[in-house]
Amino acid sequence: MKKTVNSTNSMNAKRTRKASLFGTLMFSLLAFTPFAQSFNESMGTVSSTTSISTHETNNGFDNDVFTMTGTADVRTTDASTGYTGASGAGNIFFTTSGRFFQIEGINTSSLTGLSLSFGIRKSTNASSGSDFAVSVSTDGVNYTPLSFTALPTGSGTSHWYLRTAVGTIPSAANLRIRFATTGSSAQYRLDDVILSGGSCLADITPDGPTTLCAGGSVNLTANSGDGYLWSTGETTQSINVSSSGTFSVQVTTSGCNATSAATRVLVYPIPTPSASASTDTICPGDSVTLTGRSFTTDLIFSEYVEGSSLEKYIEIYNGTGINIDLSDYRYQAFHNGASIPSFEISLSGILADGAVLVLSNPDATLYTGSATDDSDVQHNGNDALALYKISEDVYVDIFGVIGQNPGSAWSGTGGYSTVDHTLRRKLSVYSGITVNPALSGPGGFTTLTTEWDLFPQDNVSDLGAHTMNGSYSWAPGTVPSTGIIVKAAPATTTTYSLTGEYFNGCSSIGLVTVVVLEDCGGGERKMTGIAGEKIGDKAYNLSAFPNPFNTQVNIQVNTAVAGATKVSVKDMTGKTVSILFDGNLNEGQTTLTWTPAGNISNGVYFCEMVSNSGVRQVKLIVSGK
């Protein structure tokens, strides 16, 4: 009669023929290892010699949830005695070489560190048990041998002994334990097979990727148990996670508590791409240049150089779209698994949008570009680094794992390592790691292989230069349809959508509208980019002086027709940085001034005038700030 194993019922179907001592023992085993069928098999009782298959059919064994097979037989003669827990009654008798007894259907899938013990009797004084094999299998085909302490030999040693098998008992849904004779010089008896001890386990299974784009989520589910306590404080078997963090769960069943390994969820914010036009108002038949750009969420680490000797560099990139006051940030280094900074550098100065700051060890010589020297730039492969933002009391980027020592380095597939290498942030990465991974071991730096490009040691060929951009697609009707800069010639007022594709497949959409005027002034068409022209006999132009300039520039506006007029200053990407006038202007000349704010860096800008008469632009050059 084939027996059906029910892993959720554990020992519920077990028949107990034990004295109270064994009932108590079995209860304690179940309480200690609640997730699997830990057991004590005393072989039951028979009235006379019988086969294992017959004893199984008659439900003679203690454990009905397991399947017993074999070519040995069951007897009551020479009942077990002489060791603690010896049950007497029936035992398995191995008469000749090749006889075996197997217990199968044991669920150890949630257990580790199990111990297997058994009572064994030898028939001759000379036998040491070397020809009695104990093995385990997870598939019924391949068996792994276990060893046990040799039986004593010599006069008067033919009696019962308690032995514990040595070796790894694997985690499996259907474990088999086999006992067999391999020689013909001795006969053996087997009794009181006990699978005990072990440690219960807890694990987490996600229902999808654990690296997500903002707005996504993943369900984390613990293995079956009586109670759950997540690191978040939730007490359900599953939790839904939509923000970055490291999560673990304690599972409790029948008094056994186990805590899972940590599972990291990483949620990337999605930047909205900036879509801008070289002019937002054109005449029919004219074209316009559309420009796409994305921005980092804050400062990020963009290059890491762990070179030979003191060739140590760290590059910090500002892709935020604004100039950054560095006095609000500190660079921190956590050496050898430290959880508080071993070294800290207070940053200073203004870091322009699109620029980088290179921190360098004073004794480093490979890089000859602009750098800030500091002796605290002395990282090794097992040191974590962080950018700390003072005003918000947060990390804006973390390299490595704070509070964990990975050994010599963090590492990953493909030869990745934080020792003796240069690492450059991928251009599609727009957000720093703001939540410490809190994962141990060399693989705890989980974004090492996904967010960074690997280069040989002492490679500084790209140091001092970093950009950040995704891939862009435009609609409708631009030439080309993809890229950072495209052209469009709308016949009517059109809103263009810019779809940005970023790291990890995250995407978002930005919009820009180009207005096509019905009347460009007396039926005359403007020439885009020309600063001045006449409409009829009246001037319609735009000029600037002094130009180039340092602190202030005068903008002279000549309007040919009174009406709504907007005068603004834009940067090279088309982003508006200042609006000088937005209202009704009389016909004639008006002078405006622009005093660039402190976050405006040296470079080229454009002053643009838009009115019913058309669009005019003049180039402005800021220098000497």
Given 456, 478, 506, the domain boundary residue is 456
For residues 235 and 147, state if they share a domain. Answer: no
User: Is the pLDDT reported for residue 34 higher than 50?
Assistant: no
Could you report the per-residue pLDDT of 243-267, keeping only the tens digit for each? Answer: 999 999 998 865 678 899 999 999 9
For residues 338 and 401, state if they share a domain. Answer: yes
User: Nearest Cα to 453, choosing from 481, 490, 427, 488?
Assistant: 427
For residues 473 and 327, state if they share a domain. Answer: no
User: Nearest Cα to 571, choosing from 229, 293, 155?
Assistant: 293
Q: How many CB atoms lie within 10 A of CB 546?
A: 10
Q: What is the mean pLDDT of residues 384-404?
A: 97
User: Is the pLDDT reported for residue 537 higher than 50?
Assistant: no
- Taking the CA atoms of residue 28, residue 29, residue 30 and residue 34 in that order, the dihedral angle to the nearest 10 degrees is 120
Choose between 624 and 430: higher pLDDT.
Answer: 430
Structural tokens at position 352: 């322009």
DSSP assignment of 516-542 equals EPS--STTPPP-TT-SEEEETTEEEEE
For residues 555 and 538, state if they share a domain. Answer: yes
Choose between 518 and 551: higher pLDDT.
Answer: 551
For residues 65 and 173, state if they share a domain. Answer: yes
For residues 185 and 147, state if they share a domain. Answer: yes
Q: What is the mean pLDDT of the chain?
A: 86
At 327, is the secondary structure helix, strand, or coil? helix
Structural tokens at position 129: 């048990």
Q: What is the mean pLDDT of residues 75-87?
A: 92
Residue at 8 is within a domain? no
Q: How many CA atoms lie within 13 A of 152 on its CB side?
A: 9
Q: Is 553 left (phi over 0), alpha (psi -120 to 50) or beta?
A: beta
The CATH number that applies at residue 171 is 2.60.120.200
pLDDT given at position 557 = 87
pLDDT given at position 198 = 66
Q: Which residue has the tokens 């009695």?
A: 132
Of 287-301, 371-385, 572-586, the one with minimum mean pLDDT is 572-586
Residue at 188 is within a domain? yes
Residue at 279 is within a domain? yes
Distance between CA atoms of residues 485 and 573, nearest Å: 9
For residues 173 and 52, state if they share a domain. Answer: yes
All residues at 6 or more sequence positions from 389 whose CB lies less than 8 Å from its CB, including other chains:
298, 328, 329, 395, 396
pLDDT band at residue 520 under the 50/70/90 scheme: low
Report the percentage of the chain scoring pLDDT > 90. 60
pLDDT given at position 12 = 29
Residue at 416 is within a domain? yes
Phi, psi of 40 (to 5 degrees): -130, 115
Could you report the per-residue pLDDT of 184-214, keeping only the tens digit for each? Answer: 878 999 999 998 766 677 889 999 999 999 9
For residues 361 and 288, state if they share a domain. Answer: no
For residues 427 and 351, state if they share a domain. Answer: yes
If 0-12 CB within 10 Å is exposed, 13-18 middle and 19+ buried, where does residue 112 land? middle
Structural tokens at position 552: 């202030």
Could you report the per-residue pLDDT of 494-504, keeping only the tens digit for each? Answer: 999 999 988 88
Whether the bond between 548 and the residue before it is cis, its omega within 30 degrees of 0, is yes
Q: Are 432 and 331 in contact (CB under 8 A)?
A: no
All residues at 6 or more sequence positions from 522 whose CB lies less than 8 Å from its CB, including other chains:
535, 536
State which residues form the domain around 392: 300-456
Q: pTM of the predicted model, to two decimals? A: 0.59
Domain count, the chain: 5
Q: Are 61 and 55 in contact (CB under 8 A)?
A: yes
All residues at 6 or more sequence positions from 264 whose CB lies less than 8 Å from its CB, including other chains:
210, 245, 246, 247, 437, 438, 439, 446
For residues 86 and 60, state if they share a domain. Answer: yes
Q: What share of the chain is helix, strand, coil (3-state, %, to 5)?
A: 5, 45, 50
The CATH number that applies at residue 288 is 2.60.40
Pairing state of beta strands 507-516 and 281-282?
parallel
